[in-house]
Structure 1
Amino acid sequence: MSAHPAADPAADPALAAFLSAYDDALARWPVPTEALDVRTPHGTTRVNACGPRDGRPVVLLHGGGATSACWSANVAALARAGHRVLAVDLIGDPGRSVPSGTPLDVPTADLVGHSYGGWTALRYALHAPARVGRLVLLDPTQCFAGFRPGYLLRVLPLFVPPRTAAKARSYLDWESGGTALDPTWRELYALGYAGFPAARPVTGPRPTRQRLQALTAPVLVLFAERSRTHDAAALADRTRRLLPSATVAVLPETSHHTLPAARPDELNRHLTTFLAPDPDHGPG
């Protein structure tokens, strides 16, 4: 099973090491997981699914380079709350994809996006509002403000060859600033950066204030207190002004990359409460 149409793990030790680490990380998930290979107009991607098959779908979109394995501390709580959890490996990013697959019939779902996955989730909610029930953005980037200049200077070397695992580990250790970083995921990220064929990310401008006012889905935005990508407190205030109806909070003792796993009980409480079905209006 190839992780990239132009790459052969058998002939590429770095890619093989990444795929082995990926499988090990998924094996540590605390709930039974089903691997789905989904065909889309842009290629076939891996979706790691768990939770009851008839549960309300919630789609998890990871940050750049993070893979769907980054949600290991959150999937069990969502599954126990009755959700059908669909954790996606974004096409073009490190992860698993295959030459063939079947469409995934999910007409409406809640979206949870972290970092770049937050930008993706927000853009989709604006593009197809009828298909998004609720929207959760976790320390999103390029949604309500740009990056800190200092962050951009520190991250720039990641885009300059050579791509080594040591360079990725150094970046993660700097960004996390001593907050709890899952060592298994840290190594997976580093091996993916070094061993997975690089692809240009799909990106674009931040949504305008007018576009944001067109959002119809209920929105929860959680920022990481120690994120180096932006000033969390200032950006939370700006987000409240841009989205007055949104629920906005800053999670203490978390950084941009540690947010999904550093304080899982607190984050999962936010997620399951916000995504819980409305008793007066059913699951919609």
Structure 2
Amino acid sequence: MEYLSFYDHLAEQWPTSSESRIVDTTFGQTFIRIQGPLDGAPLALLPGDTETSLSWLPVIEPFSQSFRTYAIDHIYDNGRSIYTRVMSRPKDFVDWLGDTFDELGIDRLNLVGYSYGGWQAALYSLAHPGRVARLVLLAPSSTVLSPDPIMFARAILYYFLPYRFVAGNYFRWYGPDAMKEDRTRSRIDEMVEEDLLARRCFKPRTFVPPTRLTDANWGELRVPTLFLVGENDRTYCAQRAVDRLHRVAPAVEAKVAPNTDHYILLVSPDWVVRNTLSFLKESGR
């Protein structure tokens, strides 16, 4: 398959030795990259929409020095996971993650989710607080605030018009800071190419829109949580998101990365690593 050849070529950049594992769930087979010390605390990594475990390339090496990391290919998206059951509601993601962690034999773990994966991580932590030691939300889709109307309109055009010009325009608009340097700009170009390949090679899926957690949801969240977002994120206003968290969930630690857009893992990997590891290594890990 053309897409998997492209995917495997990208996987050659994975900077640390790892093992691959496929686990069976009620939604199908989930592909996971596992690395780090055997006695390290479990750390699961959930990618964003249209992304895969490879989105953690910029940070996987430092994450895996102390933690047993599990970088997951979403089962209902691009990558090597294979779904056999359509995901149609938010609870499906919670159930799938529960199945995945059960099959891995993990009772309690740290959970880091980026973008769409951040929303899933938040849902899982609300449903199973006893299984999550610490939660890190990296620019989570919705979750804190609903998408900006301009972003929402552009996303609809991108979703329904699968053309190179439309996809390229959307990805580049979404990452103004990523477009400033050759290293990150080339990765955006790869993401556009991967997106177009995936659209040709996979059958269309029904997208489950991420939801905004209510004030009550945030009040019920009992897991120690870190929220990280770029100051130039196009999804929603970073400062408004932080202000809301300070108001409805003051226990959540919130930080804003300067000169950073939604592609926070690409643009500010060192900042993400420093803040994430500091939070995860606090007492009570």
Category of TM-score, reference length = shorter chain: 0.7 to 0.9
What SS does structure 1 have at the residue aligned with 2:104? coil
| CA deviation map 1:119-158 (0-9, x unaligned) | 1000000011111110000111221110000111111112
Contact kept? 1:133, 1:217, Cα under 8 Å: yes
Name the residue aligned to 1:29.
14
| Superposition RMSD in Å | 2.1
Name the residue aligned to 1:215.
221
Q: Is 1:78 equivalent to 2:77 in the alignment?
A: no
| CA deviation map 1:15-70 (0-9, x unaligned) | x1x21221122211211121111111111111111111221111111110121111
- Amino acid corresponding to residue 163 of structure 2 in structure 1: T
Name the residue aligned to 2:273.
268
Contact kept? 1:92, 1:201, Cα under 8 Å: no
Name the CA distance, whole Å, in 2 between partners of 1:121 and 1:190: 27
Name the residue aligned to 1:154.
154
Name the residue aligned to 2:249.
243
TM-score (norm 2): 0.85
Name the residue aligned to 2:91.
none
What SS does structure 1 have at the residue aligned with 2:265? helix
Name the residue aligned to 2:26.
41
CA shift for structure 1 position 103 = 2.4
Unaligned runs of 5+ in 1: 1-8, 10-15
Name the CA distance, whole Å, in 2 between partners of 1:99 and 1:238: 36
Name the residue aligned to 2:96.
none
- Amino acid corresponding to residue 171 of structure 1 in structure 2: Y
Number of equivalenced pairs: 262
CA shift for structure 1 position 199 = 1.3
- Amino acid corresponding to residue 76 of structure 1 in structure 2: E
Name the CA distance, whole Å, in 2 between partners of 1:32 and 1:62: 20
CA shift for structure 1 position 223 = 1.0
Name the CA distance, whole Å, in 2 between partners of 1:212 and 1:60: 21
Name the residue aligned to 1:13.
none
Q: Percent identity?
A: 31
Contact kept? 1:56, 1:84, Cα under 8 Å: yes
Q: Is 1:183 equivalent to 2:209 in the alignment?
A: no
| CA deviation map 1:214-249 (0-9, x unaligned) | 111110001111111111112111122121011101
Name the CA distance, whole Å, in 2 between partners of 1:232 and 1:186: 25
CA shift for structure 1 position 91 = 1.2
Name the residue aligned to 2:93.
none
CA shift for structure 1 position 192 = 3.3
Name the residue aligned to 2:117.
117
What SS does structure 1 have at the residue aligned with 2:234? coil
CA shift for structure 1 position 188 = 4.0
Contact kept? 1:166, 1:190, Cα under 8 Å: no
- Amino acid corresponding to residue 135 of structure 2 in structure 1: L
| CA deviation map 1:203-223 (0-9, x unaligned) | 453222112111111100011
Higher normalized helix content (fraction of residues): 2
CA shift for structure 1 position 272 = 0.8
What SS does structure 2 have at the residue aligned with 1:103? helix
Contact kept? 2:74, 2:81, Cα under 8 Å: no
TM-score (norm 1): 0.85
Name the residue aligned to 2:136.
136
Unaligned runs of 5+ in 2: 85-99
CA shift for structure 1 position 118 = 0.8
What SS does structure 2 have at the residue aligned with 1:156? helix
